[in-house]
């Protein structure tokens, strides 16, 4: 980052810090770039309990629209469409990475990502000071996020080989299947998305919004399960028990967890559920937030684990 920009960001941080109620305690302490950069909020354990507002007090720029109208070579952003931007659910102008995951309409509808969902504590000391091409690879170039635990969940391959009854990849068989994931997934693996970083009900509801030709829109599901695959790998999803499940566990599933990771789990739904739908939303929201704070207090993974995973 250029000095000028840093100074800008810092003066901004400072102003916001003075104003914001949640970081009042920091307001007098954080006075220079180095202190801000090494602010304990960047590291375990503080980062686990950090709110987006706290991070944004200094990093507001990550959510500002900043896509240039055209590239230096003159390609207009409005004319550029990447292969992953051709799903039915893609809409709006070109956006930055952070905005596409946090503030665009689709992101807000389907997901509930927080800064610390991806940023799990990032020590500048762990970043290599030079490109480590001849070394043992024990430092990474950047260590801001562990893709295996984040991106891969929604940008892995479509694992059709384990989907009994699917003759091929979705790109080849979607017409044959009536463009519907739910034709099978109304029966199989119906216990899904009960985690604090996804909006499970909104995902199911969105799928049922019909497309122009009156069919189910499988791109909602496919988008996160192969339609924007940056990786050759599939994410090994937990395999929650579902009603009508064959008790025999297939070989591929023998090592699969049967529950989502602890830090993402929602509390059991409150009993009021059956009484009135309206009440549920309110009641269910609160424990979700509380549970997050609880599980966030979990001790940090060991350094070796973290290293292994990010290498």
List the interface residues with ligand HEC, window 117-176 (CB under 6 A).
117-119, 122, 124, 127, 142, 144-145, 147, 150-151, 153-155, 159, 162-166, 170
Instruction: Return the number of the residue (145 or 280) whose C-beta is nearest ligand HEC.
Output: 145
Site residues (CB under 6 A) for ligand HEC, limited to 15-54: 30, 33, 36-37, 39, 41-42, 47, 50, 52, 54
Residue of 109, 169, 239, 301 that binds ligand HEC (CB under 6 A): 239
| Residue from 77, 161, 62, 76 nearest 114 by CA | 62
For 95-101, which contacts have Cβ atoms below 8 Å and span 24 or more sequence positions? 95/65, 95/67, 96/62, 96/65, 96/66, 96/67, 98/62, 98/63, 99/63, 99/65
54: left (phi over 0), alpha (psi -120 to 50) or beta: alpha
Site residues (CB under 6 A) for ligand HEC, limited to 179-238: 181, 183-185, 188-189, 191-193, 195, 197-198, 203-204, 207, 218, 220-225, 228, 234, 236-238
For the CB of residue 277, give the shortest distance to ligand HEC in the complex, in Å.
20
Exposure b/e, 96-116, CB count within 10 A at least 16 = b:
bebbebbebebbeebbbbbbb
Instruction: Return the number of the residue (89 or 283) whose C-beta is nearest ligand HEC.
Output: 89
Q: How far, in Å, CA of 204 to CA of 153, rounded?
A: 18
Site residues (CB under 6 A) for ligand HEC, limited to 71-110: 84-85, 89-90, 95, 97-98, 100-102, 104, 106-107, 110
For the CB of residue 279, give the shortest distance to ligand HEC in the complex, in Å.
25
């Amino acid at each position: 980052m250029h000095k000028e920009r840093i100074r800008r960001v810092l003066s901004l941080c400072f102003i916001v810090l003075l104003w914001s109620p949640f970081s009042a305690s920091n307001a007098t302490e954080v006075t220079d770039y180095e202190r801000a950069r090494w602010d304990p909020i960047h590291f375990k354990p503080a980062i686990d309990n950090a709110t987006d507002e706290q991070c944004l007090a200094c990093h507001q720029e990550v959510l500002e629209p900043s896509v240039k109208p055209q590239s230096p070579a003159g390609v207009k952003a409005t004319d550029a469409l990447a292969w992953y931007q051709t799903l039915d659910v893609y809409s709006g102008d070109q956006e930055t990475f952070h905005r596409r995951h946090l503030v665009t309409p689709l992101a807000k509808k389907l997901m509930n990502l927080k800064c610390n969902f991806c940023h799990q504590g990032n020590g500048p000391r762990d970043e290599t000071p030079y490109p480590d091409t001849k070394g043992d690879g024990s430092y990474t170039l950047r260590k801001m996020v562990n893709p295996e635990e984040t991106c891969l969940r929604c940008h892995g391959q479509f694992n059709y080989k384990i989907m009994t009854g699917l003759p091929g990849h979705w790109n080849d068989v979607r017409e044959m299947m009536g463009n519907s994931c739910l034709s099978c997934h109304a029966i199989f693996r119906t216990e899904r998305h009960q985690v604090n970083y996804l909006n499970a009900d909104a995902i199911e509801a969105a799928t049922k919004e019909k497309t122009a030709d009156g069919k189910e829109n499988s791109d909602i599901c496919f988008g996160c399960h192969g339609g924007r695959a940056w990786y050759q790998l599939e994410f090994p999803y937990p395999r929650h028990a579902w009603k009508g499940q064959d008790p025999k566990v297939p070989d591929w599933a023998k090592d699969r967890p049967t529950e989502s990771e602890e830090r993402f789990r929602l509390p059991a739904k409150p009993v009021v559920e059956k009484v009135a739908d309206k009440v549920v939303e309110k009641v269910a929201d609160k424990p979700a937030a509380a549970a997050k704070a609880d599980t966030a207090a979990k001790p940090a993974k060991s350094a070796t684990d973290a290293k292994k995973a990010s290498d």
